[in-house]
């Protein structure tokens, strides 16, 4: 069973030493403009293509996705793809509680 890790940007915004070391990303580093980020429709299209190639698990990688107001819509779009059996979130959990995604999961919830 294959897995795909997807993000809406090439670098993460949490500025941890793993994702954004100071030697490469200095104080003046500018994040990507919102218009350059992958749209949910683009992430969903990629996921459909992966599912057609026997990928069963999607891992959303980026706490930045949680900052988008319609994050739950992305999870619902991905959950509707035939062949995808598991959707996970790989992130620092700093924004989970604010989005109401922390705590006990129910059917249809993202389990991080």
Q: What is the CATH number of the domain that holds 69?
A: 3.30.750.210
pLDDT given for residue 15 in this prediction: 59
Number of domains in the chain: 1
Which tens digit of pLDDT belongs to each residue from 12-57?
555 566 666 777 777 777 666 667 778 889 999 999 999 999 999 9
Which tens digit of pLDDT belongs to each residue from 92-111?
666 666 666 655 544 445 54
Residue 16 domain flag: yes
Q: How far is CA 76 from CA 26, 56, 84, in A?
A: 36, 16, 12
Q: Is the pLDDT of residue 62 over 70?
A: no
**pTM for this model (two decimals):** 0.66
Which two structure tokens, joined as six digits, stand for 112? 């991080």
- Side-chain half-sphere of 1: how many Cα atoms within 13 Å? 7
Give the structural domain span for 72: 2-99
């Amino acid at each position: 069973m294959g897995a795909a890790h997807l993000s809406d940007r090439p670098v993460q915004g949490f500025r941890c030493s793993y994702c954004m070391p100071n030697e490469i990303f200095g104080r003046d580093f500018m994040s990507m403009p919102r218009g350059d980020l992958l749209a949910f429709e683009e992430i969903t299209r990629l996921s459909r293509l992966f599912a057609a190639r026997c990928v069963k698990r999607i891992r959303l990688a980026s706490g930045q996705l949680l900052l988008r107001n319609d994050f739950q819509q992305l999870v619902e779009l991905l959950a509707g793809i035939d062949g995808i059996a598991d959707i996970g979130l790989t992130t620092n959990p700093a924004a989970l509680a604010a989005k109401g995604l922390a705590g006990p999961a129910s059917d249809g919830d993202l389990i991080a």
